[in-house]
Structure 1
Amino acid sequence: MRASLIQIAVDPEESVDSRRERAAALVREQSGADLVVLPELWPTGAFAYDLFTAEAEPLDGPTHEVMAKAAADAGVWLHAGSIVERGPAAEGSAGALFNTSLVFSPAGELARVYRKIHRFGFDKGEAVMMAAGTELVTVPLPGSPGATLGLATCYDLRFPELFRGLVDAGADILVIAAGWPERRRAHWTLLAQARAVENQSYVLAVGSAGTHAGVQQAGHSIVVDPWGEVLAEAGPDEQILTADLDLTKPAATREQFPALKDRMLGLPSPRR
């Protein structure tokens, strides 16, 4: 399977509508790929908190429309990164905001939605502006052999139990869309490799370039195989990173080194 990671730059001088069209054009250029992935919150910028409310959109909003057509035109599975989603309005109030990833089939149909579970910011920003997702999401891809994507977003990368849950649900390719800051880039690379090794899965981790509300982005999107070997890594600027994945490798790795079979579950709580 050929995967293309689009490490798009977010420029505050570029309008959201213009960036949507530019991203769609980049997706169409990947017509030879099987899977294309965009970063987290690329329409607004992951740290552009002041734009979240104004640029929030429903699931079937403008990003859905543009990305669905791009996926169909290119004939690819498209993880269209994430958007600021405005959920359905409750009686007497506006709908909650979510950090929501959209995955489209090669026919342009919305195949899966993942709402980010772990929100970053502690007591500010995304952590207080957005509601948390509650469901692990996988995406089975057809083929022989086929593959199953496990979806995660940025800060999720720091929580290994989420990825164990995805593996238990059948995932063998872990896809992380992120807006990761440059000042913690060492963590980005380290954690991407750790998630690959401990889960004996491919990791496709795509970040963005540019500056989001004054926060320099790390870039350095990365593809890691189930043994932890880095197959491809981007630089800091806008770039399209492409790698060919052997879909038999996760199962072969788990058979050759069956560490997942030795997991000890249901251990008692430690004494206090």
Structure 2
Amino acid sequence: MRASLLQMQVDPDESVASRRERAASLVRGQAGADLVVLPELWPVGAFAHDRFAAEAEDADPATGPTALAMSAAARDAGVWLHAGSIVEKGEEGGALYNTSLVFSPTGELAAAYRKIHRFGFDRGEAALMTAGTTPVTVPHPQATLGLATCYDLRFPELFRALVDAGAGVLVVPAGWPAKRAAHWSLFTRARAVENQCFVLACGSAGTHAGVAQAGHSAVIDPWGETVAEAATTDETVLTVDLDLTQIEKVREVFPVLKDRVL
């Protein structure tokens, strides 16, 4: 599997419409990849809390501008696209969700995942958005993808549920702050080791509403080794060829998952 992680810059001086066009162009530039991944909340910025309501949009490609643009970009490039996440305008009383969108190479919306663990300790995202309730996997032709978003990394039980549902590749878009970059590295490797899965962790570049981003997107293998890592907090594209046979090889050589009791 060839995966491309687009560590995208979120510039507060760039309009959402312009950034949407730029993201679509970046995706189209990855033709030949098997999976392309964008960061969390790149249209608005993960910490731009005061703009969440104004920038909320539908997850349906027929009505949502970001979903429409990403659907077209996936189709044009012929790639599976994890389009990061958007502020989704839910139907239930005006609720907002941090929702990840996955598109097939035909541009079909293959999956949507509403982030379960919201960050902020009753402020920011945690106060403004409604929590999702359901773990989501995606049947990519080469491996089942398990979906998680940023702060979810701190909750290993979600990843166990994804593995129990058959996930072999865990895809984690994020808007992770630079001041906790060490935790980003720790948790991405831990989730890979304990679940014997690949982890594709796509971070953001630049700043989100003045919050410096950790960048350093990374691909971790099922043994916990870093296959590749962006060497910068700037915008960059990290492209990696994954040997998916490693998943079963590691699980056969070191069958720790068979010893689970709970």
Q: TM-score range by the shorter chain?
A: over 0.9
Is 2:125 the counterpart of 1:147? no
Matches within 5 A, 1:188-203: 188-203=184-199
Which amino acid in the other structure matches residue 9 of structure 2?
Answer: A
1:158-217 superposed Cα distances (whole Å, 9 cap, x missing partner) = 000100000000000000010000000000001100000000000000010011111000
Matches of 1:191 and 1:64 in 2, distance apart?
29
For 1:123 and 1:170, the matched residues in 2 are separated by 33
Which runs of 4 or more aligned residues in structure 1 lie more than 4 Å from their structure 2 counterparts after TM superposition? Answer: none
From 233, 238, 242, the equivalent of 1:236 is 233
Q: What one-letter code is carried by the residue in structure 2 that aligns with 1:42?
A: W
Name the aligned partner's letter for residue 248 of structure 1.
Answer: T
Q: Does 1:261 align with 2:258?
A: yes
Amino acid at match of 1:223: V
- Which of 202, 212, 216 pairs up with 2:212? 216
Unaligned runs of 5+ in 1: 266-272
Number of the residue aligned with 1:102:
101
Structure 1 residue 62 corresponds to structure 2 residue 59? no
Shift of 1:245: 0.6
How many Å apart are 1:89 and its aligned residue? 4.6
Aligned to 1:39: 39
Could you say which structure has the larger radius of gyration? 1
Q: Which residue of 1 aligns with 2:160?
A: 164
Distance in 2, Cα, partners of 1:160 & 1:129: 24
Deviations along 1:60-116, one digit per CA (max 9) or x if unpaired, are 2000100000000000000000000001154xxxx2000000000000000000000
Q: CA RMSD in A?
A: 0.6
Task: Classify the secondary structure of the residue corresponding to 1:251.
Answer: helix
State the shift of 1:249 in Å. 1.1
User: Paired residue for 1:187, among 183, 188, 191?
Assistant: 183
Aligned twin of 1:13: 13
Amino acid of the residue matched to residue 240 of structure 1?
A: V
Per the TM alignment, residue 251 of structure 1 is displaced from its structure 2 partner at its CA by 1.1
1:174 matched to 2:183: no
Deviations 1:123-180 (A, max 9, x none): 21000100000000000111xxx30000000000000010000000000000001000
Residue identity matched to 2:181: R
Q: Structure 1: which amino acid aligns with 2:91?
A: P
Q: Give the Cα–Cα distance (whole angstroms) in 1 for the partners of residues 207 and 39 of structure 2.
A: 14
How far, CA to CA, are the matches of 1:64 and 1:21 in structure 2? 12
Match of 2:81, SS state, is strand
SS of the residue 1:250 aligns to? helix
**What TM-score does the superposition give when structure 1 sets the normalisation length?**
0.94
Letter in 1 for 2:17: D
Distance in 2 separating the partners of 1:116 and 1:131? 9
Separation in structure 1 between the aligned mates of residue 97 and residue 140 of structure 2, nearest angstrom: 25
CA distance in 2, matches of 1:141, 1:116: 20
Of the three residues 209, 220, 223, the one matched with 1:227 is 223
Q: How many matched pairs?
A: 258
Name the residue aligned to 2:111.
Answer: 112
Q: 1:29 to 1:162 in 2, by over 3 A?
A: same
